[in-house]
């Protein structure tokens, strides 16, 4: 069973890591620049071993789904060898048992899926979810490149998905990050006239619909896929034969290593201190009193239900789930 999302956190370069370690983010504000994301690159002067302490590097030793092993050589059988690996043709030809030796297939392209839909344009702690997602995506991309992996990406926004095939070049990472910056800076708190919160949520679901097909096409098997999102549109029902987006991701995880980074803000988990507040979705204006016990319970239950869905999906399909808070 993968680690519980309630106890695992995503560390940043130079920070302590682990279930109970403090997490400190670098970027803040409402938008990011390409310079911001480029500065997150891990120094590589010490060579590949510089990333050895990073959790991403640790994940590289995980079993590869699907094919998983590359043929290396045939050698004489030794006590303890797996009998299923005996090469019967060589054994017959040489008159002595010989066995096939395999080595772990370590080269796995890294695909980074980052959500920049409108629900990510929210934050109450000095940075927006969209900014935090960009930081996680960029940090992951630079780590993968430092580990000599091919790196690609899918940038999800309100208008659709931009796809970048994995390549082992700095320029390829910068292209992904440039698209991420473009999507990030296109976010706007003010919806179009006549568009309220429900329409924005529907658009987020539509964007997830458009994500599944290219992700299925580019991932295939034996990829490392990192998805950074609040996943608020991922439970939308997709056209047949996929079902919900989360179900489609679970299917992809059967042949790939998938990590989900759930980005959220404290104000999504708990209402603010008791008092009267006025809110708007750009179309309607409402007021509420946050001291109402029933309202507070229902609000928290909604967040907990969303998290529970992610945890259950990850546990059922072998995906890794972590949390990242804007706090």
Same domain? For 283 and 174 the reply is yes
**Is the separation of the CB atoms in 8 and 323 below 8 Å?**
yes
Q: What is the mean pLDDT of residues 178-198?
A: 75
pLDDT on residue 61 = 38
Q: What's this model's pTM, rounded to 2 decimal places?
A: 0.73
Higher pLDDT, 203 or 55: 203
pLDDT on residue 5 = 39
Same domain? For 265 and 129 the reply is yes
137 located within any domain: yes
What is the spatial distance between Cα 180 and Cα 112, in angstroms, rounded to a whole number? 11
Closest CA to 326 of 85, 1, 9, 4: 9
**Is the separation of the CB atoms in 253 and 245 below 8 Å?**
no
Same domain? For 91 and 213 the reply is no
pLDDT on residue 90 = 92
142 located within any domain: yes
20 located within any domain: no
63 located within any domain: no
What is the spatial distance between Cα 110 and Cα 252, in angstroms, rounded to a whole number? 14
Over the stretch 282-311, which tens digit does the pLDDT of each residue have? 567 888 888 888 899 999 999 999 999 999
**Domain span holding position 165:** 34-56+107-325
28 located within any domain: no
What is the spatial distance between Cα 320 and Cα 69, in angstroms, rounded to a whole number? 22
Report the CATH number at residue 224. Answer: 3.40.50
Over the stretch 75-111, which tens digit does the pLDDT of each residue have? 888 776 778 889 999 999 999 999 887 765 556 899 9
Higher pLDDT, 259 or 65: 259
Instruction: Report angle CA 293, 294, 300 to the nearest 5 degrees.
Output: 90
Same domain? For 257 and 280 the reply is yes
Q: Is the pLDDT score of 219 beyond 60?
A: yes
Higher pLDDT, 147 or 238: 147
Same domain? For 235 and 91 the reply is no
Q: Is the peptide bond before 327 cis (omega within 30 degrees of 0)?
A: no
What is the spatial distance between Cα 74 and Cα 224, in angstroms, rounded to a whole number? 29
Sign of CA dihedral 244, 127, 273, 199: negative
Strand partners, 151: 110, 167
What Å distances lie between residue 257 and 234, 251, 277, 297, 320, CA to CA? 19, 11, 43, 36, 8
pLDDT on residue 208 = 78
Same domain? For 86 and 98 the reply is yes
pLDDT on residue 81 = 74
Same domain? For 266 and 216 the reply is yes
62 located within any domain: no
Same domain? For 223 and 81 the reply is no
Residue 46: both structure tokens together: 């010490």
Q: Is the pLDDT score of 316 beyond 60?
A: yes
Report the domain count for the chain.
2
**Is the separation of the CB atoms in 40 and 142 below 8 Å?**
yes
Same domain? For 160 and 200 the reply is yes
Mean pLDDT estimate for the chain: 78
Question: Mean pLDDT lowest for which of 9-13, 73-77, 147-151, 205-209?
Answer: 9-13
Q: What is the mean pLDDT of residues 139-153?
A: 94
Q: How many CB atoms lie within 10 A of CB 84?
A: 7
Over the stretch 23-82, which tens digit does the pLDDT of each residue have? 467 888 889 999 999 999 966 444 333 333 344 433 443 444 444 566 778 888 877 677
């Amino acid at each position: 069973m993968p680690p519980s999302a309630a106890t695992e956190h995503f560390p940043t370069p130079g920070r302590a890591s682990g279930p109970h370690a403090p997490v400190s983010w670098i970027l803040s504000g409402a938008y990011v620049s390409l310079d911001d994301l480029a500065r997150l690159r891990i120094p590589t002067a010490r060579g590949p071993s510089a990333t050895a302490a990073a959790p991403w590097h640790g994940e590289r030793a995980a079993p590869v789904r699907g094919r998983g092993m590359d043929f290396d050589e045939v050698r004489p059988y030794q006590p303890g060898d797996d009998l299923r690996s005996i090469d019967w043709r060589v054994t017959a030809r040489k008159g002595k048992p010989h066995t096939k030796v395999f080595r772990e297939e370590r080269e796995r392209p890294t695909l980074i899926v980052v959500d920049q839909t409108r629900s990510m344009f929210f934050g109450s702690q000095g940075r927006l979810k969209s900014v935090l997602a960009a930081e996680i995506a960029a940090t992951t991309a630079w780590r993968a490149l430092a580990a000599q992996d091919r790196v690609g990406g899918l940038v999800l926004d309100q208008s659709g998905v931009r796809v970048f095939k994995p390549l082992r070049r700095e320029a390829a990472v910068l292209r992904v990050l440039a698209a991420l910056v473009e999507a990030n800076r296109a976010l706007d708190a003010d919806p179009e006239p006549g568009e309220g919160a429900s329409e924005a949520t529907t658009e987020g679901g539509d964007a997830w619909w458009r994500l599944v097909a290219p992700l299925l096409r580019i991932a295939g098997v034996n990829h490392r896929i990192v998805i950074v999102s609040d996943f608020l549109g991922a439970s939308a029902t997709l056209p047949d034969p996929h079902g919900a987006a989360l179900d489609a991701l679970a299917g992809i995880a059967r042949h790939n290593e998938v990590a989900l980074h759930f980005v959220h803000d404290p104000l999504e988990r708990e209402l603010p201190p008791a008092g009267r507040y006025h809110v708007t979705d750009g179309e309607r204006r409402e007021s509420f009193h946050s001291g109402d016990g029933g309202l507070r319970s229902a609000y928290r239950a909604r967040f907990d239900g969303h998290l529970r869905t992610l945890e259950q999906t990850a546990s059922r399909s072998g995906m890794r789930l972590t949390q990242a808070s804007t706090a």
